[in-house]
Amino acid sequence: MIEKNSYQDSIVLMLLTNYLETLDGVNNVQVMMGTPANKDIFKTGGLATDELEAATPNDMVVVLDVDNEDLIDDVVKKAKVYLDEQSNGSDDENSGEERVKTWDKALEVAKDAPVALISVPGVYAAGEVEKALDAGKNVFCFSDNVTIEDEARLKQMAHEKGLLLMGPDCGTGIANGLPLAFANRVRKGSIGIVGASGTGIQEVTAIIHKMGEGVTNAIGTGGRDLKAQVQGITFKDSIALLDQDPDVKVIVAISKPPAKEVRDDAVDLLRAAKKPVVAIFLGEKPEAHEKGLYRAYTLEETAKIAVGLLHGQEPTGNEDVAVKVPDVKLQPQQKYIKGYYSGGTLAYEAATLMNNTLGLHAENGVDGSILKKDGYEVLDLGDDVFTQGRPHPMIDATKRKEMMVSAGQDPETAAILLDIVLGYGTTDDMAGDLKDTIIKVKADAKAEGRELPVIATIVGTDMDPQDYSQQQRTLAEAGVIICENNAQAVKTALAIVGHPVEETPLPILPEAPSNVKMPAVSDKLKEMLTATRFLNIGLESFAEAINESGGSAVQFDWKPIAGGNVELQKALLFLNKVDLKVGV
């Protein structure tokens, strides 16, 4: 079925697909917009039809495989009811939100909003980012699938305008204590964060919160910012901004391994900061601190060094808590740890600890595999290979449950690692979704004479929209070993298999000189630090999170113009720029 000119948000359509899959008699179903990329997904999934080729990017496409064709009308009716309920739930009268439908109106109503959040399909994102930058807005771009060439161009454009482009593919941020996208609720405080890592920011902010301190601004850069093609433009401008922020006493910098030349430039800039800095380049095992620039190996250590510095305490080497080894009796064949993560950075941290401790010398895997060597396995289930046409694992646990069952059936599996990520944008009860599968996996192993520990960490706080304590109770009822953070969970698993992680305190070397000067920060950029009002273009849940947290968001109910034709949209954007230049 093709619904002409019926644009719907991609996450809503993914959730609709999940709902329709539960209906009796439905063998397979997919609901997406008729973009060229989505048509390829239909074909890959064996759901291509002749009618599909006629669909445009503005058309909603429903493809069904059912036991009986008589069911089709009923399934289509239920799909329409589902979408109507979603639409009614966000009605102006019900939500009280300010809503607009055009860019002109958005810029009029949200003229006092210094930040625009953009979460439109990736094929359209670059054009929308450019419009926002031209309008003088700092941009938080959640959208992915933007070319790295466009990312570099747009970040340079933002820099030249004295603005900041966070993203593309920026999953998490905190602005003036308000959550952006997939963020946790944490108390406001004096630690400022810049991170090329979504769940890395979430893990560090959550640990800081649990330690009684807070974060007022956490700036996400997108995962590619420190690659050679982009040159760390957002990372560097963010460091300069936090160094100018009078409320920030300690700066935290988080990144997966950057390009060497970009890393060297970034480290030189961190040395130029007036404030103490904690830096973690995941995958690197630091050998020493410098006075004023302290290096961390794990996200736990990052948070604890930052809190210590806030209280005037330099690192002692005891920041990572020694784990208590559970009383688990493994069979001789049980050797291997399996990690199934919804957070990519947490998966990367697990792989790093396992790789270094076990001496695996494993390269990064492929197809969503962060580590795959012998029987050891760490997967990022949020990788594109697992999420094409399906919701992210922070929303939908289906793929993770399949992986857990498979691992449980392997007699060589010694432990299973999981993360439960709370906060805005994630499901209401991930622990509840996983509980029955965990119980079954452990029971099936026990029936075969094996004890199979499942070890989990909850990334979140007592302020999150989910009930943190209830998530703990649910996991405990399923027999899960619950750890305070991801590093402790991985170390627990390693200790169970007989390979405890050795803690080695680092020496503190004298302060190293910097060869660069901290860049100037524009007034427009400084407005981000005290932002209370935002323009939200795309996913309405992002606006709801801001409004619920005490901020104010104008909701732009975005739909692609020009029939979804990207080339025509680029031409219109170019003509609009020309008109502005000549005063038309």
For the purposes of burial, counting CB atoms within 10 Å of the CB of 2, is it exposed (0-12), middle (13-18) or buried (19 or more)?
Answer: middle
Question: Per-residue confidence at 567, pLDDT binned at 50, 70, 90?
Answer: low
State the average pLDDT over residues 138-147. 94
Please provide the average confidence, as pLDDT, over all residues in the chain.
89
Query: Residue 480 corresponds to which tokens in the numbers above?
Result: 């899960």
Residue with the larger pLDDT of the pair 41 and 549: 549
Tell me if 433 sits within 8 A of 440, measured CB to CB: no
pLDDT at residue 568, as a whole number: 46
pLDDT band at 562 (very low <50, low <70, confident <90, very high): very low
Rounded distance, CA 9 to CA 33, Å? 9
Predicted confidence band of residue 3 (pLDDT cuts 50, 70, 90): confident
pLDDT score of 48: 76
pLDDT value at position 494?
Answer: 97
Q: Can you tell me the distance from the alpha carbon of 410 to that of 401, in angstroms, rounded to the nearest whole number?
A: 15
pLDDT at 234: 97
Confidence of residue 31 (pLDDT cuts 50, 70, 90): confident
CB 67 within 8 A of CB 523: no
CA dist., res. 193 & res. 173, Å (int): 9
pLDDT of residue 86: 66
Question: Is residue 548 pLDDT above 70, yes or no?
Answer: yes
pLDDT of residue 266: 94
Confidence of residue 161 (pLDDT cuts 50, 70, 90): very high
> Hey, which of 14-28, 344-358, 498-512 has the most confident mean pLDDT?
344-358
Q: Give me the mean pLDDT over the 413-441 stretch.
A: 96
What one-character-per-residue DSSP string does 566-584 give?
Answer: HHHHHHHHHHHHHHHHHT-
What distance in Å separates the CA atoms of residue 342 and residue 57, rounded to the nearest whole number? Answer: 29
Q: Which domains does the chain have, with CATH numbers?
A: 2-89 (no CATH), 96-169+531-583 (3.40.50.720), 171-320+503-522 (3.40.50.261), 336-497 (3.40.50.261)
Query: How much of the chain is helix, strand and coil, in % rounded to 5?
Result: 40, 20, 40
How confident is residue 61, by pLDDT bands cut at 50, 70 and 90? confident
How far is residue 122 from each of residues 78, 147, 393, measured CA to CA in Å?
29, 9, 19
Q: What is the pLDDT of residue 581?
A: 44
pLDDT on residue 542: 94
Range among 51-55, 134-138, 357-361, 370-374 rated most confident: 134-138
pTM of the model: 0.87
Which band of pLDDT confidence, cut at 50, 70 and 90, is reported for residue 71? confident
Confidence at residue 93, expressed as pLDDT on a 0 to 100 scale = 42
Q: Which of 86-100, 155-169, 199-213 has the lowest mean pLDDT?
A: 86-100
Return the pLDDT at 36: 76
Top-confidence residue, 97 or 71 = 71
- pLDDT for 67 equals 81
Q: Which is more confident, 188 or 503?
A: 188
pLDDT the model gives residue 570:
52
- Which stretch of 41-45, 290-294, 541-545 has the lowest confidence by average pLDDT? 41-45
Q: Are 396 and 18 in contact (CB under 8 A)?
A: yes
SS (H, E, C) 443-473: HHHHHCCCCCCEEEEEECCCCCCCCHHHHHH
- Strands (E) in 53-103, as ranges, are 60-66, 98-100
Q: Model confidence at 6, in pLDDT bands (50, 70, 90)? A: confident
Most confident of 14-23, 93-102, 328-337: 328-337
Give the model confidence (pLDDT) of 243-276 as tens digits: 999 999 999 999 988 899 999 999 999 999 999 9
Grade residue 50 by pLDDT with cuts at 50, 70 and 90. confident
Q: How confident is the model at residue 97 (pLDDT cuts 50, 70, 90)?
A: low
Termini Cα distance of the chain: 43
- Given a cut of 90, whether residue 395 has pLDDT beyond it is no
Residue 566 confidence (pLDDT): 52
CB atoms within 10 A of CB 135: 15
pLDDT at 105 over 60: yes
* pLDDT at 569 exceeding the cut of 50: no
Tell me the percentage of the chain whose pLDDT exceeds 70. 91
Mean pLDDT of 179-195: 96
**pLDDT value at 563 more than 70:** no
